Amino acid sequence: MEKNPVNSATTAQLVKGHLQTNVFLLDYLSRDLINIASLAREILPDIQKQNPKATLESVSIAVKRNFGAWKPQITRQLQRILSNVQIAMRTDLVLFCLPKTAKLPDIKEFQSDDVFFINQGYNEVTVIIDKRNSNLVRGPVLLQQKNLALISLKDTLINEKQNFRVTPGFVSAFLGNISMAGINISDIVSTYSQVTFVVEQKYLLNVYQICQDVVNLKHL
């Protein structure tokens, strides 16, 4: 007789798989936003669907073991890079998504301090510019987002051997905290020395404070 597949996985295996699929839960634990007992109670029903013999105690033990093995690698190199980031902001931006065949604005039409980002995908192009230059975008528009702002993170150590371009975890250190606050990123632009997040303008101050906390090495 074939064994019932529902009982083929142990509680430990099921918990590990659940946490690997939802790694943010381990992040919550590391920040003391939830405790092991609360997390175990939350995921117990899902675990019991695949292993009816699972108990709150066995799930708690499995969570504890997985949490112990999961250690965010915040290296000294990453700490040094983060703590030397300069943050800049801009407001009153507009994002356009255009067909790839669209004629893009000429860079000669912009002033040196104007925002003019182009993100090119397979079939589409995203253009991010100042509101006052919106009239430079012509032709069919797939999507337009107004009332946007940007947070620019400049690596002041870019000319050194160890900089953000060769340091794992740099972008995720910021994105993880922004996501945790329930704020969506409209676009991300990377250049030689900086990474820029585009967000709704109403969230600008929140995102700035989050990024400043990361630079100050809080919540890491």
Q: Is the pLDDT of residue 107 over 50?
A: yes
* Lowest pLDDT segment from 3-7, 124-128, 134-138, 190-194: 3-7
**Tokens representing 53?**
């013999």
Check residue 139 and give left, alpha or beta (phi > 0: left; psi -120 to 50: alpha).
Answer: left
User: Would the pLDDT of 1 be above 60?
Assistant: no
Task: Give me the chain's average pLDDT, please.
Answer: 88
3-class SS at 128?
strand
- Alpha-carbon distance 144 to 96, whole Å? 5
Region of 117 on the Ramachandran plot (φ > 0 left; ψ -120 to 50 alpha; else beta) = beta
The tens digit of pLDDT for each residue in 195-208 reads 999 999 999 999 99
Q: Can you tell me whether residue 149 is helix, strand or coil?
A: strand
**pLDDT, average across residues 56-82:** 81
pLDDT at 187: 95
Query: Residue 82: pLDDT above 80?
Result: yes
Among residues 112, 98, 127, which one has the least CA distance to residue 189? 127
Is residue 88 pLDDT above 90, yes or no? Answer: yes
pTM over 0.75: no
**How much of the chain exceeds pLDDT 70, in percent?**
90
* Top CATH class, 76-215: alpha beta
Q: pLDDT at position 73, please?
A: 52
Give every strand in the sheet of 143-155, ordered side by side.
116-120, 124-130, 85-99, 143-155, 194-200, 187-190
Summarize the confidence of residues 1-8 as an average pLDDT: 45
As given in the structure block, the two tokens for residue 24 are: 């943010």
Q: Answer yes or no: is pLDDT of 4 > 50.
A: no
pLDDT of residue 5: 43
Residues belonging to the chain = 220
- pLDDT 10s digits, 119-166: 988 899 999 999 999 999 988 999 999 999 999 999 999 999 999 999
| 72-86, 107-121, 161-175: least confidently modelled range | 72-86
- Other beta carbons less than 10 A from residue 172's beta carbon: 12
Question: Comparing C-alpha atoms, which of 79, 84, 66, 85 is closest to residue 220?
Answer: 79
